[in-house]
Amino acid sequence: MKDLGQLSYFLGIAVTHHAGGLFLSQKKYAMEIIDRARMSSCKSSPTPIDTKPKLSATSSTPFEDPTLYMSLAGTLQYLTFTRPDITYAVQQVCLFMHDPKDEHMQALKHILCYIQGTIGHGLHLYPSSTSTLVSYTDADWGGCPDTRRSTYGSSAEAEYRVIANVVSESCWLRNLLLELHCPILKATLVYCDNVSAIYLAGNLIQHQRTKHIEMDIHFVCEKVARGQVQVLHVPSRYQIADIFTKGLPLVLFEDFRDSLSVHRPLASTAGELLGAPSKIVGAPSKIDVNVTTVEEPSSVPSHGRTSSQEATEEGSSVVANYNYGRTFFRAISRKKVLPQL
C-alpha cells in the first residue's frame, strides 16, 4: 500500500484542505456542462429556478433534441453533490426527461445560467462545535400542477410522513456514530413549520383521520418519549428545507444557500472564509431549548447527562419552552459547523 498524501481530486471533485476543514468543488465539471450546452457566454442568473408555478407536462411543444436534454439533465444530477443549492431545480427538470418540452429546456438553461454566475461556488465542510444532530423537514404537498394529486391527504399528514422519515434516518446516524465511538447523548432536534404535525409528534392519539399513518405516529412518539428526538417549530422564514421544495425569492434563496455552506473558495487574507455563513437578515432572537440527554449502551462511555441547544422560534411554544435571547441558529452561524440538514 502506498501513501499518496492528501486527497486533492477524486471523481471530478476537487478537494481543498484548509485550517477550517474542506472545500469541495466541481468547477471543471460545471464548465464542461456549460460548454456542452454551448452557453459559455450566457448571462448569469441570480437563482436556479423562478418562483412561478411548477413545470407542467403539457405546457408547450416538444423539444427538438430530447437526447441533449436528457444528457444535460443527467450531468446536472452529479453536480448536486457539491451544489445542493440547485437540487430542487434539477429535480424539477429531471421529471420530464421522458418527454421534454421547450419550456422544460428553458428551465434547464436557467439552471445553467445560474451555474455560470456561481461557477466557483462549492461545499464547505467544517468540524462541528456541538454533538447534536439537527434536521429541518418540509413536504411538497399537492405539488403536481397537472393533477394536483398528493401522496397524502392533507398537508399535516404529508409533513408528518417527512418527520417520520427524518427520525428514521437520524436513528441510523446515531447508531453509526455509536459504532464509531462518537455517541450522541443529546436528543436529535427536528425542525418543522407545520404546527399540526408537531402536535401529532408530541401526542399519541387514536383518531379515524390518522389511522392510515398510525405506524408513523407510534414510531415518532416512541422516540420523543424516550428523549431521543425533539420535534420543534421553526417559522417558515427560517425553514432551511424550503430550498429543496420550492422556488424562492432571491433574499431567501441566498440566506438558505449560506446555511448549506455553499460559498466561493477561501480567501487568502487573515484565514477568513470568502462568503462564509452569516446571520440571516431579520432573524429572531435566540431562544434556548432544553434538550433531554439520552442513555446509550454501556459499551461506550458517556460524559454528562444534560445540556442545552440553541434553536429558534417565533410566537408561542409548541413542544418546548422557549426563552428569547440574542442570536440565531448555530447551524447558520459563522462558527465552524457542519451543514445541518
In a domain? residue 113: yes
The pLDDT of residue 216: 62
In a domain? residue 297: no
Could you give the number of structural domains in the chain? 2
Same-domain check for residues 119 and 249: yes
- Choice between 82 and 278, residue whose per-residue pLDDT is larger: 82
Q: pLDDT averaged over the chain?
A: 75
- The pLDDT confidence band at residue 76, using thresholds 50, 70 and 90, is very high
The pLDDT of residue 56: 78
The pLDDT of residue 71: 94
- Position 78 pLDDT exceeds 90: yes
The pLDDT of residue 112: 95
CA distance 127 to 242: 25
Arithmetic mean of pLDDT, 61-76: 92
**pLDDT per residue as tens digits for the range 175-228:** 999 999 988 888 999 998 888 888 777 766 655 555 545 566 678 888 888 888
Most confident of 130-144, 147-161, 175-189: 175-189
**pLDDT per residue as tens digits for the range 281-296:** 334 444 344 444 444 4
In a domain? residue 341: no
In a domain? residue 274: no
Spell 319-340 as b/e; 16+ CB within 10 A means b.
Answer: bbebeeeeebbbbbbeebbbbb
- Position 114 pLDDT exceeds 90: yes
In a domain? residue 175: yes
Provide the domain limits for residue 222.
134-234
Q: Which range (107-111, 148-152, 179-183) has the least confidence?
A: 148-152
- Residue 233 bridge partners (DSSP): 192
C-alpha cell at 151: 401522496
pTM equals 0.71
The pLDDT of residue 94: 92
Same-domain check for residues 153 and 61: no
Same-domain check for residues 228 and 188: yes
Same-domain check for residues 246 and 121: yes
Rounded to the nearest 5 percent, the helix, strand and coil shares of the chain are: 35, 15, 50
- Position 110 pLDDT exceeds 60: yes
Same-domain check for residues 151 and 113: no
In a domain? residue 308: no
Same-domain check for residues 160 and 100: no
The pLDDT of residue 163: 87
Same-domain check for residues 103 and 252: yes
In a domain? residue 290: no
CA distance 25 to 118: 11
- Position 305 pLDDT exceeds 60: no
